[in-house]
Structure 1
Amino acid sequence: MNLYQFAKGAVFTALSPIYRFNVIGRDDFPKSGGVLVCSNHIHALDPPVIGILAPRPVHFMAKQELFEAPILKHLIPKLNAFPVKRGMSDREAMRKAINLLKDGNVVGLFPEGTRSTDGQLKPGLAGAGFFALRGEAYVVPAAIIGPYKPFKRLKVVYGKPLDMTPYRERKASADEVTMAIMQEIQKLLDEHRSS
């Protein structure tokens, strides 16, 4: 068992008694090939929750500062995280994400770029569309439906994979693709908030 699998099991064991996870759509998650998981963002625990409940290992970007901390700099890469410099266009991080997708891995992304304070989905940043177009991967929209309150149900929905081929063939813009992804996330939120 590698460190990622160990950590995934440990975090699930720690969080599952507190947040009663209800996971929907895992069976539709692609079993192989590159996948870009795009989720809404409502809480600091969103990355580990998406990670432990996805059926495959997920790679996340993490802020560069974490990789400069004495202990974390050795630990975080083993947890499938890679650094990104915030507040600028980080070409190295972008290349890393695209290469991970092209190599058949799963990359997790929060297109809003920051947490939503009111739970409403905010507009997505063009980076999501950029990775979706360049990564040669399916996109899996995801919705986290809270609240993050002890012993309350926390719902995580993985939508059906979106094939990006038609967008690539007609050379759609990154902004257009991001908008299409955000619409799919919104559909999941609307459908499953009331159920």
Structure 2
Amino acid sequence: MNEERKSTIEDQILNKLFTIGGIIKNGDLPDREKEKILHILEQVTKGNFDLVLKDSADRRETIVEGVAKLLVDEPHACIAVIGTGKNKLHVLKAIAKSYGLSDRNIEIVNGFEHSHNIPVDELRGHKWKGVLLGPVPHSIHGVGGHTSLFDFVKDSVGKPVVLMKTNSDSGEVKVTKSSFKVGLEDLLYKIITSTV
């Protein structure tokens, strides 16, 4: 590996650790999530990368099993995806299907990407289990005292909300196959662990 690439990877690792530190310091994580991060970092420090990867595979299995159980109890349970951009919906739905969601369990709410006049009243009253939020304008009319659509949806729906962020250093909100998959997995994990 050349020195420039090695330096870039090291910088990315340090940036991610710094970001994690900020999240922990802000108190945005429950204690059980902090314990998981500590466990992962301890395993990485010991060189047990396979164990960390196994935990990741176990998490996916836990999510798929949790979704299956949820859909037995609530077959019409639904999550919303707001702001999918120009992505092909069949690709996003195929990713959702790999986690056990059918078309009736995922509602794509589009048209928000460029509009500052989002019909936010339509977002109230839905019985979504959670919301996956893509890029939408920062300045939106009708969100009351909220600073963003994210905060508005979080308070209005009262369920987990996850932003689809890229793995870039900026962590921009953007819908890619990867950010959709990571965001969906995070959202489903929050949903199934909150119903346990």
User: TM-score range, shorter-chain basis?
Assistant: under 0.3
TM-score, normalized by length of structure 2?
A: 0.25
- Higher relative CO (Cα under 8 Å, sequence separation at least 6) belongs to 1
Choose 1 or 2 for highest CA Rg. Answer: 2
Return the TM-score normalized by structure 1.
Answer: 0.25
Give the structure with the larger strand fraction: 1
Greater share of residues in helix = 2
